Chain A
Amino acid sequence: MYIPHTNAEREAMLETIGQENLEDLFQCLPKDGRFPDLALPHGITEMEALDELQYIASANETTQELSSFLGAGAYNHYIPAAVDSLLRRGEFYTAYTPYQPEISQGTLQTIFEYQSLIAALTGMDISNASHYDGATAVAEAVNMAYHTFRGRRQKVILSPALHPHYRETVHTYMEGAPLEIVGEDLDPKAGPEELRPLLDKNTAVVIVQYPDFFGRIFDYAALGEAAHEVGALLAVHVNPLALGLLKPPSEFDADIVTGEGQPLGIPLAYGGPYLGIFATKQKYVRKMAGRLAGETVDDRGQRGYTLTLNTREQHIRRERATSNICTNQGLIVLASTIYMSLLGKHGLRQVAELNYHKAHYAAEKINTVPGYMVNPVQSFFNEFVVHCPRPAEEVNKHLLAHDILGGYELSKDYPELENELLVAITEMNTRSEIDYLIHVLLEE
């Protein structure tokens, strides 16, 4: 269907090559099993394919049809129409990695602008051109810290309030390194001060989340200071949207900032592709993995951009590279760059405040439902833990029966938190939707 050859062209080409037919082109392959009869259906037309895919899609219940209060690392936000309109430009999405800068300035300048925006948002000196997602960005932070100390520091501290998926990914990535990973079995309800006693001269990095997995906001300045006292690094994982309102992690003197960029204009899409944010201090620029675009000039004197510090990467360093990362999230980088450009400083602040106010309204309302409790003292952004009068799983079932996608059942990762539900509120949740949630909770 996407093959343009006419029969006459095919015959002429085979003649030039000096072969009789297409099958002859594969004569050096083992005869055994050549041209297998695959147990797959024959092709269909575009019209039929669309019909089939629409049918499959209709078996899913979307966040449009349900009232969603689900977050836990992926959030239902509004995406301005201009974002997708630009993403659909073939010049962007059908290009490859900008290895030839003369004919790739569109992609390169976009990466450079993205790096600039992320640096501004996080308060850090520099950002790379992204990792696969928040989880792999955190794993790369551990990897970087480990190599920064040339493997001499073999302890990594992970906050128990760091997203469980991220912690699991760190374990998988670092399986081959002689690392001791500690901190995860601390009381998840405790704050960052519990992590401090774990710091010692053998610690490479301590990693916390801001706001944390439970939505809480903590000041990590003291933790950063304590880490630096023993020569360890502080890595802070952020929700970038929250940084429209909250002070940047650079104020905690973070050495590495990672983030899940999905809230910046990326659809939920059942978990991906998303965007792994990675920023650090200038002095660690050569320790950081991942692509980087840098400003320079061309031979006509025009300001332009090129990929730089390529010598850190696998295609040059091969087995000596500290990471095998090759791609970045090109198109998702573009989406988030457009999103941040559209919102700007005022828009990002406004949407962050909307999240904040609506979440606080919902928390206050839930606190009025008998048996339900939200800790009223703890600062939070757009997500909070609800203590339920019975297992969260049962509460969720009741909500779903009323077309409400409830929160995240924390018992999935913390077995002792059977009655705790993690609830997220964004600008997409209207007041009447929140009131309906309360109504349904009261009803059971």
Chain B
Amino acid sequence: METPTNLQYTSNDEWILVEDDLGTIGITDYAQDQLSDIVFVEIVAFEGDELGQGETVAIVESVKAAADIYMPVSGTVVEINEELADQPEVVNEDPYGAAWLLKIELSDPGELDDLLDAEAYQNLERDH
């Protein structure tokens, strides 16, 4: 399972790439593998939404499960990935690249301290 070291993670399997004040958010390789074939991605946040850490931004569905995706940190949505609606399988194929879900402008970079680095994420205890 891939876990790039330039990203930060949540225990709920989201990743965030931070470049200056801009954060790009997606779900991890582990998450897509657990969900298996993804059939639907719905981004429920809109550009301009100011959202707090932990608020729901997207729903990713496979035939056997539906996962709610939450904001890893607070911020304002500046761009959403419209392509995923038509090509949900991209989440399986390229979770850290083409399958980014949304970009945000961080409002409280201090919250990044709550997140995990790649090593800590890999060492999370899993039920299965």
Contact = CB atoms under 8 A, between A and B. Distances in A.
Query: Size range of the interface on B?
Result: 10 to 19
B40 A310 contact: no
17 contacts: A150-B44, A286-B40, A286-B42, A308-B63, A310-B63, A310-B64, A311-B61, A311-B63, A311-B64, A311-B65, A311-B66, A312-B66, A316-B64, A316-B65, A316-B66, A317-B66, A320-B68
A311 B63 CA distance: 7
A316 B66 CA distance: 8
A310 B62 CA distance: 9
Nearest to A317: B66
Interface of A: 150, 286, 308, 310-312, 316-317, 320
Contacts of B63: 308, 310-311
Contacts of A286: 40, 42
Nearest to B61: A311
Contacts, number: 18
Nearest to B56: A150
Top 7 nearest A-B pairs by Cβ distance?
A311-B66, A311-B61, A311-B65, A316-B65, A317-B66, A316-B66, A286-B42
Contacts of A317: 66
B73 to A, nearest CB: 21
Nearest to A310: B63
Nearest to B68: A320
Nearest to B59: A286
A99 to B, nearest CB: 12
Contacts of B40: 286
Interface string B54-74: 000000011111101000000
A6 to B, nearest CB: 44
A311 B37 CA distance: 13
Nearest to A285: B40
Nearest to A321: B66
Nearest to B62: A311
A311 B64 CA distance: 6
A206 B79 CA distance: 34
Given A311-B61, A311-B64, A316-B65, 5 more contacts: A286-B42, A310-B64, A311-B62, A311-B66, A312-B66
Contacts of B42: 286
A310 B68 CA distance: 15
B60 to A, nearest CB: 10
A311 B68 CA distance: 12
Interface in B26-44: 40, 42, 44
Contacts of B68: 320
A316 B62 CA distance: 11
A308 B61 CA distance: 12
Contacts of B66: 311-312, 316-317
A286 B88 CA distance: 15
Nearest to A320: B68
A312 B42 CA distance: 13
Contacts of A308: 63
Nearest to B44: A150
Contacts of B61: 311
A317 B62 CA distance: 12
A317 to B, nearest CB: 6
B50 to A, nearest CB: 15
Contacts of B64: 310-311, 316
Nearest to A313: B66
A308 B64 CA distance: 10
Nearest to A308: B63
Nearest to A306: B63
A286 B66 CA distance: 11
A161 to B, nearest CB: 36
